[in-house]
A and B are shown apart, each in its own frame.
Chain A
Amino acid sequence: MIKNNQSDQENIEQLQKITKKLSRQIIEITTRAGSGHPSSSLSAIEIMVALYLGGIMNYRPDEPGWPDRDRFILSKGHAAPGLYAVLAEAGYFDPEMLLTLREIGSPLEGHPNMRVLPGVEASTGSLGQGLSIGLGHALAARVDGRDFQVYVMIGDGETNQGQVWEAAMTAAKYRVSNLTAILDYNKFQQTGSVNHVMPTLEPLVEKWMAFGWHTTEINGHVFDDIFSAIRNAQATDNRPHIIIAHTLKGHGLSPFEKDDVNRKHGKPLTEEEKAQALEELEAYSYDQKITSFEQRPNPNIEPPERRQ
């Protein structure tokens, strides 16, 4: 449950500071590892910070299997560096361990592995599967009479997968109100922009509504937006909720922005690019609201006329 102090200005400034620190870690550990997905991690970072460190989720790092914990499933598992940075900050493991990302013997694998790293709720990395797993958790809460929330982060490209829509349909059938999906709408997937690969993802809000979901559309880099969306999600009875979060893949940092094909998907920054990105990150001010909200792929198709 949401704690009432979290949208305090003071709290938000603290979260912004933490976000910057974790963003730095994401960039540093992927460059150090020589591989990984920093841009995919950075688009989702404020949302994960808000959930774990902004007082939204209930969890116990010293008891990762606590049955009443809220669950977060990173369905777009390649954003693992972001999840790891957040889990370390949340107290699941020593942040020093972040430096072992992708090394042999390290539980910080290229994609999250629930068998080796406490705090990871699902083994992901094959896109499309997380929302169904989240649905399973949400139904288990009902069967066991428990009161926990389930959050599932999915990619915009990931919603190409049929399984996402299978889960969407089923979650609405069972009216699971403790399931919240968050769609990281960063407008890029692997081989190109969403506009290029799957422009017919739009109209997106209407699709989820048609599947029986409550929707909130936000700027995913703005904490106020995130908190009010979560409040909306928790206020909805009888239905699953999706937060469609407009974000920037690579958080608007120029070394990522320069790649207009896929925002350096799956590529760490070079040492030189890293220096540039860290400098921009340092100078970044949350007062300059990120303006990605209006960028929508153009489906180039007219919605069909509704028959009366």
Chain B
Amino acid sequence: MDIGKKIGLTYGPPTRNAFGNALKEVGAQNQNLVVVDGDVGNSTRTQYFRDEFPDRFFNVGIAESNLIGTASGLWASGKDVLAASFACFLLCNAYDQIRMSIAFPQANIKLMGSHSGISIGEDGPSQMAIEDIALATALPNFTVIVPADAPSTKAATHAMFDREGPVYLRTGRPKVPVLYDENLDFNIGEAIQVRDGSDISIIACGLMVAIALEAAHTLSEEGIDARVIDMHTVKPLDTDAIVKAATDTGAIVTAEEHVLEGGLGAGVAHVVARHKPVPMGFVGIDNTYAESGKPEELLAKYGLMPEDIVQKVRGTLKKK
């Protein structure tokens, strides 16, 4: 991908790799941590943990409902648990198990779904999670984190294990631009303003933060001064940051690699409508499944490129 290169961003490892490395660190610190895999550890990078701590690693086979149930039993008997798979199979194949065996009993289980969004590319729509944020945020008691780059994924991985209760961490397949340095200040539920601006706020998560930064750069050339906010925690949302953005800039555009229903945009709109109504625009996947293709081609075809955010900003500003 070339996204962000023209504004000087350099590429780092995929967020799933950053997760895998951080998981290994957590495993070294916490002997009580066990990891459960659904035969995709080489893809989700839980393999890094397995190679280091094979006795605390269980591969339950290609069986996501079994994965969640086993995780729940391990938790109920006192273990700290991480369960991982592709985001689509984890959330979609095992949703009732997640509901009954994790969300309902408020189990202290951490879930990691990799290969989120359409930027996985060629494997195609059956492997792309584009509904997972809606599913995860709908669950009472859940925390949902969608980090933007490798350093913030590392920080998010450590932070989620310090948090009591169920957490869903969403990572991606491709290499992505680096936005933060290694010792960033990362707190669950506290958005990070990555660019200040006064005309409009772009609130994004995951890969879309880098894309929003490139859009903001283009907009600045047109004299539009956009604030960019990394809303890495999609649940609970940082209400203060959203209200402040609405108050300071008077318009908001959201951007996510997810369907428009039930994701970041819907959540932000909920806060905006309740606390500080301002014109809003929404960038996301519009009521369709994608297809196979190269990541950047797909982002373009399904309306997730910097130009798409730029256009949405222009349209939203007209309503101000």
Question: B61 within 8 Å of A by Cβ?
Answer: yes
Inter-chain CA distance A33–B123, complex, in Å, is 11
For chains A and B in complex, what number of residue pairs have CB atoms within 8 angstroms? 96
Question: B15 within 8 Å of A by Cβ?
Answer: no
Whether the Cβ atoms of A125 and B124 lie closer than 8 Å is: yes
Report the count of interface residues on A (CB-CB < 8 A).
33
Binds B, one of A10-18, A63-71, A145-153, A190-198: A190-198
Most buried by A among B60, B63, B88: B63
From A108, A113, A116, A191, give the contact of B59 (CB < 8 A).
A191
Question: A104 within 8 Å of B by Cβ?
Answer: yes
Question: A127 within 8 Å of B by Cβ?
Answer: yes
Mark contacts of A161-199 with chain B using CB atoms, 8 A cut-off: 1 yes-contact digit, 0 otherwise: 110000000000000000000000000011100000110
A126-B88 CB under 8 A given contacts A111-B123, A161-B62, A198-B61? yes
Considering only residues 184-219 of chain A, those with a C-beta below 8 Å from chain B are: 189-191, 197-198
A126-B124 CB under 8 A given contacts A103-B292, A191-B39, A191-B40? no
Whether the Cβ atoms of A104 and B89 lie closer than 8 Å is: no
Mark contacts of A108-127 with chain B using CB atoms, 8 A cut-off: 1 yes-contact digit, 0 otherwise: 11110100100000011111
Taking CB as reference atom, which chain B residue is nearest A198?
Answer: B61
User: B residues within 8 A CB of A108?
Assistant: 292
Question: B56 within 8 Å of A by Cβ?
Answer: no
Question: A102 within 8 Å of B by Cβ?
Answer: yes
Considering only residues 105-130 of chain B, those with a C-beta below 8 Å from chain A are: 121-127
Mark contacts of B275-295 with chain A using CB atoms, 8 A cut-off: 1 yes-contact digit, 0 otherwise: 000000000000000011110
Whether the Cβ atoms of A160 and B88 lie closer than 8 Å is: no
Whether the Cβ atoms of A105 and B293 lie closer than 8 Å is: yes
A102-B292 CB under 8 A given contacts A109-B125, A124-B126, A191-B41? yes
Considering only residues 54-68 of chain B, those with a C-beta below 8 Å from chain A are: 59-63, 65-66
Inter-chain CA distance A201–B200, complex, in Å, is 58
Whether the Cβ atoms of B297 and A104 lie closer than 8 Å is: yes
Inter-chain CA distance A116–B122, complex, in Å, is 16
Inter-chain CA distance A56–B39, complex, in Å, is 35
Return B288 CB to nearest CB of chain A, in Å. 11
22 contacts between A and B (CB under 8 A): A35-B122, A102-B292, A102-B293, A103-B292, A103-B293, A104-B292, A109-B124, A109-B125, A110-B122, A113-B124, A125-B126, A128-B62, A128-B63, A128-B93, A157-B62, A160-B62, A161-B62, A161-B63, A189-B39, A190-B42, A197-B39, A262-B42
Query: Which 10 pairs from chain A and chain B are nearest by CB?
Result: A125-B126, A104-B293, A160-B61, A110-B124, A109-B124, A102-B122, A160-B62, A110-B123, A109-B292, A111-B126
